[in-house]
Structure 1
Amino acid sequence: MTSGEVQVRELRSRTWYRWIAATLVAVVVVAGWVAATQPENRVWVAVGLPLLGLWFTYLGWRSASFDPTTGVVATIRCRVRREIQLVPGTEVALVPNGAGGLLLALRPPDGRRRTYLLVLALSDYVEASQPPELLTALADTLVRFCGEPAEDVAKRLREQAAHVARGGTAATSPLAPMVTRGALGAAKAGGAGAVGGHLD
């Protein structure tokens, strides 16, 4: 990350980390029991356990940032960096991921894929908003490089920033009504990982 970039932090809590740790321990215990009592299934344990470990690594090993001076937005997933340049005509929207997360979705005029930044998380495992200074800087950056079409989203981000700066909670924030839970949110066992999912 260069010195001009603003890091967009993952919205996680101690409960999220405890859920991950408990899930890993449970999986290892069950896998050990299966390997010890069901020799015919040992091959599946040998294959499945590393794959599950890779999935958890993929789920947690990511970061995002934006540069207010250049308009470059970067996402990093397992050390693979992907950048987009904010320009006039960039599609800018706030979209729920259906699992308790609200994402800022960005797609340049010539791009096929969206880039996502997590703005708000409301789940059984975490209730958190990005800090006000980050939300304000993000709003300013969107307007500076994307122009008038980004004004509505920027306004919503600034309202969120003002609410958080006054000590307001994530659950009562202006953006909270946009969050949806859906089927993924209903499946509590997957809620912790799902909130930050759908980012790529």
Structure 2
Amino acid sequence: MTGGPVRVPELRSRSWYRWVTATFVAVLVMMAWVAVTQPENRVWVAVTLPLMGLWVTFLVRRSVTFDPGTGVVTRTVVGVSRELRLVPGTEVALVPNGAGALLLALRPPGARRRTYLLILSMTDYVEASQPPELLRGLADTLERFCGPATRAVVRQLREQADHVAGGGTARTSPLAALLTYGVLRAAKAGGAGGIVGHLD
């Protein structure tokens, strides 16, 4: 990969943006109606409106980058950045979020929190994997800075890259088997039978 930080795409679809926009507009309409018809609740409207704005800003203005040359991973949310440096002993794992996304979780020694990079998304709005060059770049960076303890994850990332590079879909990709879904999604997939299948 080229030098300098590499941005990790959010894997969002147009329908996701439409959903966020429609939700925000619907809430605005509801709050306007409350403000006009229920004057006693205008304080609630005044408090809720800024919170909605922050929510939308949080969803849209966030990013994660990694630098293959330095091993630095940077997460930025609404202009505030937090960095971690990959070193030997960094905890590295591929973890499902329970809602159709697979994340690369990173926690260097002594760090209190994990930093997450989105690897695969299989939701109602998008079915997509990160591109092969990014997956290979991540694998190479982990191997270089974190050492042999990451061998299993490095292998999985490279297998995913080979699958996508060969024209394979996100749904049939090797990492798709690691995804999990919550109870609501399981029920949507087929009632009690669907729930049992997802909880096995």
TM-score by length of 1: 0.88
What is the CA deviation profile of residues 84-110 of structure 1, one whole-angstrom value per residue up to 9, with x for unaligned ones? 111111100000111111110011112
Alpha-carbon contact 1:101-1:119 (below 8 Å) kept = yes
What is the CA–CA distance in structure 2 between the aligned matches of 1:58 and 1:39, rounded to whole Å? 30
Alpha-carbon contact 2:24-2:52 (below 8 Å) kept = no
Alpha-carbon contact 1:123-1:185 (below 8 Å) kept = no
What is the CA–CA distance in structure 2 between the aligned matches of 1:53 and 1:65, rounded to whole Å? 25
Map 1:13-28 → 2, pairs under 5 A: 13-28=13-28
- Bigger radius of gyration among the two: 2
The letter for the 2-side match of 1:55 is W
Q: Does 1:170 align with 2:146?
A: no
> Structure 1: which 4+ aligned runs deviate by more than 3 Å?
183-188
SS in structure 2 at match of 1:118: strand
Q: How far does residue 159 in structure 1 lie from its aligned partner after superposition?
A: 0.7
How many pairs does the alignment contain?
186
The letter for the 2-side match of 1:42 is R
Q: How far does residue 184 in structure 1 lie from its aligned partner after superposition?
A: 6.7
- For structure 1, list consecutive stretches of 5 or more residues without a partner in the other structure: 189-200
Q: Which residue of 1 aligns with 2:9?
A: 9
Q: Percent identity?
A: 69
What is the CA–CA distance in structure 2 between the aligned matches of 1:106 and 1:16, rounded to whole Å? 26
What is the CA–CA distance in structure 2 between the aligned matches of 1:11 and 1:185, rounded to whole Å? 20
The letter for the 1-side match of 2:59 is L
What is the CA–CA distance in structure 2 between the aligned matches of 1:158 and 1:138, rounded to whole Å? 9
Q: How far does residue 160 in structure 1 lie from its aligned partner after superposition?
A: 0.7
Map 1:149-164 → 2, pairs under 5 A: 149-164=149-164
Q: Which residue of 2 aligns with 1:128?
A: 128
The letter for the 2-side match of 1:10 is E
Q: Which residue of 1 aligns with 2:67?
A: 67
- For structure 2, list consecutive stretches of 5 or more residues without a partner in the other structure: 189-200
Using CA pairs under 8 Å that are at least 6 residues apart, name the structure with larger relative contact order, 1 or 2.
1
Q: Which residue of 2 aligns with 1:114?
A: 114
SS in structure 1 at match of 2:168: coil
Q: Which residue of 2 aligns with 1:101?
A: 101
What is the CA deviation profile of residues 45-64 of structure 1, one whole-angstrom value per residue up to 9, with x for unaligned ones? 11111111111211221101
